[in-house]
Structure 1
Amino acid sequence: MEKENEIGEAINLDSYDLYLNRELSLLEFNQRVLAQAKDARVPLLERLNYLCISCSNLDEFFEVRVASLLQMAEMDPKAIGVDGLSPHEQLERISAKAHGLVEDQYRVLNDILLPALAEENIHFIRRTEWTAKQLKWLENYFNEELLPILTPVGLDSAHPFPRILNKSLNFIISLTGKDAFGRNSGRAVLQAPRALPRIIQLPADATGSGPHDFVFLSSIIHAFVDQLFNGMNVKGCYQFRVTRNSDFFVDDDAIDDLLLAVEGELAMRNYGDEVRLEIASNCPEETVNFLMARFELTQDRLYLVDGPVNLNRLQEIINHVERPELKFTPFKPAVPPQLARNKNIFAAIEKQDILLHHPFESFLPVVEFLKQAAADPDVLAIKQTLYRTGVDSPIVSALVKAARAGKEVTVVIELRARFDEKANINLAAKLQEAAVHVVYGVVGYKTHAKMCLVLRKEGKKLRNYVHLGSGNYHPKTALLYTDYGLFSCDKELGEDVRRVFAQLTSLGKVTKLNKLLQSPFTLHSGLIEKIEREIDHAQSGKPSGIIIKVNAIVEQQLTKALYQASQAGVKINLIVRGICCLKPGIPGVSENIVVRSIIGRFLEHTRVYAFENDGNPEIYVASADMMGRNMFKRVETGFPIENKRLHQRVRSDLELYLKDNCQAWLLQSDGQYEQLSPGEGEETIQAQSELLASLQN
């Protein structure tokens, strides 16, 4: 039965008013990241890092999301999203929001972080402030390190405007006078080679500088650019950067070889359509208009910036400054006692399921699992999915050793993991050289599931040992992202994983799984059924409740199901790091839903679905977010946490996140977020810090 509003009308859960725009929601996430750079409680160099992350995120937002909308606006301008906005309307709102965000980023840099860094004797020295010694050293640096590899292009009929690489540092230069051939078009373009460092540390002994004095590459080029144009006069030199469409399309129905198709598309990534132009704010209007015309961009895609056109490069100094007090306190991830006591990882798993919560607990047991499998004469086969891992990963080394030891090793590599395509192509080649069976999953579906299966002969029986997770098999990101990983030798779970691998590597019908939920087949419908079960319990007066922790909530059917559960009286807590299209707190629709986002030292990445189920609670950990792509266009898995102790542990983690009053932001029904803070006399709770403290060895 449909619920009615205050005047007796049935509430339409398809109404545009009930959904937030996903792109604007993503920009709100970047605003929360940037807020960390303003937070005086965060160590100073980490605040600088958050500023850089917000800029890097914004780059990807333009490369992928804005680029996609621009294509949609051209191909299907009348398309309407679930929020009622056309592509053009979305682009207008994105432009206003993104321009405000960029202004905020440079305000944080210039008015907050640079002065704070200067107080700590970390200086970015402007050209107007260079001492005679610094000037001499920098001129020598320019002549020896830069001049030989810089290639300015004077613009004339024989030298057309050059192709500008995506996100590269460039300079537009205004000139007067004539060169040796009597030429002068009045302009030149200089592209800074990507191999050059964007920030140079001044040597204290040669320049009399402090231990942490830095100069931007752009400042050096500005200071000595006239040496590139002998006999001519440089009137002005201004930075600019172009962001291009970096998403690529592979027609699954028209390709014979996915590897070759991806390689072909990668070659064009740096030269996709222009989507954004950043120019130094002191650039004359005439030159700005010249560049906009060259790139065929309109005013809404122009960003005039008060500082370096690529703030991401500021991350470089974090490794150059050895000031532990200005960084997060180092920590050593814990090793679960079951694994610390028992060096044989298979024996430890045989005794009980083992849950790892990264980065609070070490990723090394996952590496050790594969290392021991590679060396164990009783292990017959290993099957592994890899989405993002890196060619030099110890995971890859273990798989190579296993194959060379004569074991049957099969790896499913997702070639189209965005921005990791080239690394994954190289990874595939390395594994194939070691006689590993490499497959690329299912055409038309990204393989995003995180699974490893080890088949071991024990006496006369074969036993499946599995590792399932919410995050990638990447040791470095396991120190930065929060994720769950489960070791188990449960018979039914192992058989499920084997069947999923069989689907990925061969052909056949969908097979029934015992415990796993799998997209694109049963994950979406399974979650809908569990939400509907909570509705039935609530309507029958039985215990009900839902806690979901994901990176994004976008998919409309799941959102509507949550609205219906709220209308039935189910209490719903959603912990959503990034995009959330669901509107909480709407009377008659979502007044029983609370949405919070946790932004802290670690990137929240766990995906957990918890259901009260009339006092028989269920918890699933998954590789999938609540997005259409995860539910219908990817191979994903959701696995139950059945061990009572581990189940209670995950539940306690979720409840801790719900109590966080320091790093939690509450979503309002208008799409804005409000940061929580402890009230007077209230206990301070910071979930990540408490987990870090409780799980340290």
Structure 2
Amino acid sequence: MNRVLESELMEDIDQVKAYAEADFKTPHNDFILQLQILINDPGFSGTALDLGCGSGDISFRFAKAFPSANLHAVDGSDPMLQYAKSALTSDLSEQISFIKGLLPDVILPQSSYEIIFSNSLLHHLPDPQVLWQTIKKYAKPNALICVMDLLRPDSIEAAQDMVKQYAANEPAILQRDFYNSLLAAFSLKEINTQLAQAHLNLHIVRVSDRHVLISGVIPDSLRNDMDTLESVEEINLEKPELYINRDISLLAFNKRVLAQAKNESVPLLERLNYLCISCSNLDEFFEVRVASVLEMAAIDHKTIGSDGLTPKEQLEQISIDSHKLVEEQYQVLNEILIPKLNAENIRFIRRTEWNEAQQKWLAKYFNDELLPILTPVGLDSAHPFPRILNKSLNFIISLTGKDAFGRNSGRAILQAPRALPRVIQLPAEETQSGPSDFVFLSSIIHAFVSELFTGMTVKGCYQFRVTRNSDFFVDDDAIDDLLLAVQGELAMRNYGDEVRLEIDAACPDDTVNFLLDRFEMNRDRLFLVNGPVNLNRIQEINSLVDRPDLKFTPFKPSTPSQLARNKDIFAAIKRHDILLHHPFESFSPVVEFLRQAAASSEVLAIKQTLYRTGADSPVVAALIRAARAGKEVTVVIELRARFDEKANIDLASKLQEAAVHVVYGVVGYKTHAKMCLVLRREGRELRNYVHLGTGNYHPKTAQLYTDYGLFSCNKELGEDVRRVFAQLTSLGKVTKLNKLLQSPFTLHKGILEKIEREITHAKNGKPAKIIIQVNAIVEEQAIQALYRASQAGVEVKLIVRGICCLKPGIQGVSENIEVRAIIGRFLEHARIYAFSNDGNQEVYASSADLMNRNMFRRVEICFPIESKRLCNRILHDLDLYLKDNTQAWLLQADGSYLQLLNTTDEEQIQAQSVILNELQGS
């Protein structure tokens, strides 16, 4: 049904009187409640603007809800304003100023309002852009916007039904006006288009069958008025206002992961997984990122990052954001997940809920399984405070009385060995709901800890956990043996500097202060928690609970038809390039590639990079089999793959025992490239077959992470890969590559050149578009190049799972840039760089993100997808991600993310599910 305009103003006296005297208490109170939630500060004392205030009812309610606020209320109707002024009581007269004026001509102070709201004005305007441009004109930087309006029904009959449903008892004049307003309202799709045209990234929510709420923040635009600011060419693209702090952005990613734990459409046990993942991510964030910023703050207080923050300022913001995140994690656990798990008969039984039989069984469990291996340490002059392992579960126990030697230390420390499960499953005969009742290890220790202190009284027992700096430093200029250097650093990882302290929220202040003093930590890094101090260990119950109905539906990855039809993988690759998209397509062809290479008499040599590969990897087994079969096998292992160092050291030893040539890459540069080269003699010709990937040679993570892999026997590409391996395994100058871009030599320059080429196309009036899908965008030169592309009119679409330091939607700088993140069943891990190139589309896949470390401190490769068929397939996948309206989050100019809910009339699109279904059917 098309829109039917109605009168912009209510000026008929009877109409005004009927409207003013109507009972809008419920919808108006709901609107004010939405404002209270968004503002989240009852003491708000700034200036607000009510556009289209009508008879003033919402203005009055706002003033009462925010008694310290000043409010300017605007309307174009004289009778309406007269009614509003007559209803204005003396106690509100100091707060509210009623102003007559029509949009957009009303005269108000520009860029002055911290809050702008409007109820039921939008549908009165012939041109809706009048409202959105007025809001942009008068909003302060970072102003809060809240607009409520009607939604147009699908048909005249539906509008008539709504009038009967909601206005049957109202005067005829109100029924008529309500009907006309419904016909004049906009659809969700039209509102989406309006906001896009206005370059406003606001959140759209359908709050009822007839109302829509549009809310969000107006970013700190560089160009509120194009005539008063500098030209595009003069904008300094190094301004701190144009950058988001990388660590704050990383915390925002973790918040998006946590949101999945609250997502009702996700199976319940998977929601628990997302909670655990967010906790594990936060552990690593403190171990690596916070530790790094603390070190910077200790040696240099003045260094300012691209975002304008000093290390001290970063730490202050990290503390605020991480405390909010932790509070939300425990709220999700205690208030959402545990009650829902209980409803499914998966119960975490608290100590106060144990029945007599459970108490007896748990006492026996403690005596048989825990007591023999628990070793408390009493604190006195002979027993100093013990060294606490990184992320271990510990208890501080307050005691009274004397021990066998007459000692009275008052406190003891107990560390729970890591080998112990953190969740104990009660036997079926001791439960009320079957075999899915669990008890936290901490609850058992707390209940029976007095057994460890015979004759003494336990006054309190409180769990705590310390997180330590787990990044390590290897001096590249001073080492003779990289393996020994890494082994030496690993031995110290568990005892790095303390960066975070988590304590049971019930712990008394004197004990909290005692621990803070021992760990020389201030309260900014103290987290008082209402539950287990290590939530990610709760994930253990997933392997114990047989409830497939509460997990994602299993699927079998498909195999490309050209491989399924041809048992000889080399013959299939020789026919044409083959693309794999994991986990939708199986990782098995990669393993089969190596297995056939190991068994083939035509294969002379195999060269392979390994960054992370997992225990008992079939990739490693195939490489060992090849070496034992007499093949020349060379493996480049990266010893410094974070948190996989020990596994890679063991792997190197295992390979060397099988006569594999093992090298550790280049000192000073992590080898992050994902490459495999198989050299075959085919008749009189030597032919290189390659597999290149965006992700690791890790069969397990290939089931969880989205990545692309390419099989090819292209001669120039194979020669490029051989040259890169030669660089890694021997010495020599940089050699020119035919097709690959390689860091630290040509990758960064190559990407910037391709961005500049799109800028040139745009300036010449040709179509220009860039699509980049990566895990992170941090590198400043790349960000500035993308800003220049936006200024030149290039359409820039960025799909960035994690950190993004670029700000989209800033007028004059990045209004042509959209940044979205996809958080779904699978972890988005692929790196794709696509350039329209005036119709000569180029698509590259890579192991590298747009980060300084990937561009300059790692060995990475970026490889072209030259088959038009495969190129189009990747572009199709990217298009699905850009259309996703169920798992996408849009980055706002202020660094916040808004979830893109399917609020339009269009079909639901979940990119990962669509790709999975397409490939299952192929």
Common fold by TM > 0.5: yes
1:128-171 Cα offsets, whole Å, 9 max, x none, are 11011100000000000000000000000000000000000000
For 1:460, the equivalent position in structure 2 comes to: 684
Is residue 326 of structure 2 the alignment partner of residue 326 of structure 1? no
Aligned counterpart for 1:641 among listed residues 865, 873, 892? 865
For 1:233, the equivalent position in structure 2 comes to: 457
Aligned pairs for 1:81-96 within 5 A = 81-96=305-320
For 1:417, the equivalent position in structure 2 comes to: 641
Local SS of the residue matching 1:135: helix
| Native 8 Å contact 1:391 1:424 kept in 2 | no
Aligned pairs for 1:472-483 within 5 A = 472-483=696-707
CA displacement at 1:206 relative to structure 2? 4.7
For 1:117, the equivalent position in structure 2 comes to: 341
Judging changes above 3 Å, is the alpha-carbon distance between structure 1 residues 207 and 685 closer, same or farther for their aligned structure 2 residues? closer
Letter in 1 for 2:747: L
Tell me how far apart the structure 1 counterparts of residues 278 and 459 of structure 2 sit (CA, whole Å). 34
Local SS of the residue matching 1:546: strand
Local SS of the residue matching 1:674: strand
Aligned counterpart for 2:739 among listed residues 515, 532, 535? 515
Tell me how far apart the structure 2 counterparts of residues 357 and 566 of structure 1 sit (CA, whole Å). 30
Letter in 1 for 2:241: D
Letter in 2 for 1:240: F
Tell me how far apart the structure 1 counterparts of residues 716 and 518 of structure 2 sit (CA, whole Å). 61
Is residue 821 of structure 2 the alignment partner of residue 581 of structure 1? no
| Native 8 Å contact 1:518 1:638 kept in 2 | yes
Tell me how far apart the structure 2 counterparts of residues 680 and 636 of structure 1 sit (CA, whole Å). 41
For 2:162, the equivalent position in structure 1 comes to: none
Is residue 609 of structure 2 the alignment partner of residue 393 of structure 1? no
Aligned counterpart for 1:100 among listed residues 306, 317, 324? 324
For 1:7, the equivalent position in structure 2 comes to: 228
Letter in 2 for 1:294: R
Tell me how far apart the structure 2 counterparts of residues 463 and 430 of structure 1 sit (CA, whole Å). 29
Is residue 579 of structure 2 the alignment partner of residue 355 of structure 1? yes
For 1:176, the equivalent position in structure 2 comes to: 400
Aligned counterpart for 1:222 among listed residues 432, 446, 453? 446
Aligned counterpart for 1:50 among listed residues 266, 274, 280? 274
Tell me how far apart the structure 2 counterparts of residues 399 and 78 of structure 1 sit (CA, whole Å). 51
Tell me how far apart the structure 2 counterparts of residues 107 and 678 of structure 1 sit (CA, whole Å). 26
For 2:755, the equivalent position in structure 1 comes to: 531
Letter in 2 for 1:191: Q
CA displacement at 1:682 relative to structure 2? 1.5
For 2:796, the equivalent position in structure 1 comes to: 572
CA displacement at 1:425 relative to structure 2? 0.1
CA displacement at 1:681 relative to structure 2? 2.3
| Native 8 Å contact 2:800 2:819 kept in 1 | yes
For 1:626, the equivalent position in structure 2 comes to: 850
Letter in 1 for 2:721: V
Is residue 535 of structure 2 the alignment partner of residue 305 of structure 1? no
Judging changes above 3 Å, is the alpha-carbon distance between structure 1 residues 328 and 188 closer, same or farther for their aligned structure 2 residues? same
Tell me how far apart the structure 2 counterparts of residues 279 and 103 of structure 1 sit (CA, whole Å). 13
Tell me how far apart the structure 1 counterparts of residues 466 and 226 of structure 2 sit (CA, whole Å). 49
| Native 8 Å contact 2:633 2:661 kept in 1 | yes
CA displacement at 1:185 relative to structure 2? 1.1
Letter in 1 for 2:426: L
Aligned counterpart for 2:604 among listed residues 380, 383, 399? 380
CA displacement at 1:680 relative to structure 2? 4.1
Q: What residue ranges of structure 1 are gaps of 5+ in the alignment?
A: none
Letter in 2 for 1:123: R
| Native 8 Å contact 1:173 1:236 kept in 2 | yes
For 1:471, the equivalent position in structure 2 comes to: 695
CA displacement at 1:6 relative to structure 2? 4.1
For 2:487, the equivalent position in structure 1 comes to: 263
| Native 8 Å contact 2:774 2:799 kept in 1 | yes
For 1:254, the equivalent position in structure 2 comes to: 478
Tell me how far apart the structure 1 counterparts of residues 226 and 686 of structure 2 sit (CA, whole Å). 59
CA displacement at 1:210 relative to structure 2? 2.6
For 2:767, the equivalent position in structure 1 comes to: 543
1:416-442 Cα offsets, whole Å, 9 max, x none, are 000000000000000000010000001
Tell me how far apart the structure 1 counterparts of residues 643 and 371 of structure 2 sit (CA, whole Å). 32
| Native 8 Å contact 1:454 1:464 kept in 2 | yes
Q: Select the structure of larger CA radius of gyration.
A: 2
Local SS of the residue matching 1:454: strand
For 1:132, the equivalent position in structure 2 comes to: 356
TM-score by structure 1 length?
Answer: 0.99
| Native 8 Å contact 2:614 2:700 kept in 1 | no
Q: Percent identity?
A: 78
Aligned length: 696
| Native 8 Å contact 1:374 1:405 kept in 2 | yes
Is residue 595 of structure 2 the alignment partner of residue 342 of structure 1? no
For 1:671, the equivalent position in structure 2 comes to: 895
Tell me how far apart the structure 1 counterparts of residues 887 and 500 of structure 2 sit (CA, whole Å). 32
Letter in 1 for 2:606: I
Letter in 1 for 2:254: N
Local SS of the residue matching 2:908: coil
Bigger mean CA deviation after superposition, 644-653 or 3-12:
3-12
Tell me how far apart the structure 2 counterparts of residues 208 and 384 of structure 1 sit (CA, whole Å). 54
Judging changes above 3 Å, is the alpha-carbon distance between structure 1 residues 510 and 680 closer, same or farther for their aligned structure 2 residues? closer
1:585-635 Cα offsets, whole Å, 9 max, x none, are 000000000000000000000000000000101000000000000000000
For 1:295, the equivalent position in structure 2 comes to: 519
CA displacement at 1:487 relative to structure 2? 0.1
| Native 8 Å contact 2:349 2:438 kept in 1 | yes
Local SS of the residue matching 2:901: coil
CA displacement at 1:578 relative to structure 2? 0.2
| Native 8 Å contact 2:431 2:437 kept in 1 | no
Aligned pairs for 1:646-665 within 5 A = 646-665=870-889
CA displacement at 1:205 relative to structure 2? 2.2
For 1:141, the equivalent position in structure 2 comes to: 365
| Native 8 Å contact 1:153 1:189 kept in 2 | yes
1:24-83 Cα offsets, whole Å, 9 max, x none, are 000000000000000000000000000000000000000000000000001122111000
CA displacement at 1:214 relative to structure 2? 0.2
Is residue 243 of structure 2 the alignment partner of residue 19 of structure 1? yes
CA displacement at 1:637 relative to structure 2? 0.3
For 2:826, the equivalent position in structure 1 comes to: 602
Aligned counterpart for 1:39 among listed residues 239, 242, 263? 263
Aligned counterpart for 1:436 among listed residues 634, 645, 660? 660
Local SS of the residue matching 2:810: coil
Letter in 2 for 1:7: T
Letter in 1 for 2:278: S
Tell me how far apart the structure 2 counterparts of residues 212 and 286 of structure 1 sit (CA, whole Å). 38
Is residue 631 of structure 2 the alignment partner of residue 407 of structure 1? yes
For 1:490, the equivalent position in structure 2 comes to: 714
| Native 8 Å contact 1:549 1:574 kept in 2 | yes
| Native 8 Å contact 1:203 1:209 kept in 2 | no
Tell me how far apart the structure 2 counterparts of residues 297 and 678 of structure 1 sit (CA, whole Å). 45
Q: What residue ranges of structure 2 are gaps of 5+ in the alignment?
A: 1-222
Letter in 2 for 1:237: C
Local SS of the residue matching 1:474: coil
CA displacement at 1:209 relative to structure 2? 5.7
TM-score by structure 2 length?
Answer: 0.75
Local SS of the residue matching 1:79: coil
Local SS of the residue matching 1:221: helix
Higher RCO structure, 1 or 2 (CA under 8 Å, sep 6+): 1
| Native 8 Å contact 1:62 1:275 kept in 2 | yes
| Native 8 Å contact 2:345 2:433 kept in 1 | no
Local SS of the residue matching 1:239: strand
Tell me how far apart the structure 2 counterparts of residues 271 and 653 of structure 1 sit (CA, whole Å). 45
Local SS of the residue matching 1:268: helix
Bigger mean CA deviation after superposition, 534-543 or 202-211:
202-211
CA displacement at 1:7 relative to structure 2? 2.5
Aligned pairs for 1:491-506 within 5 A = 491-506=715-730
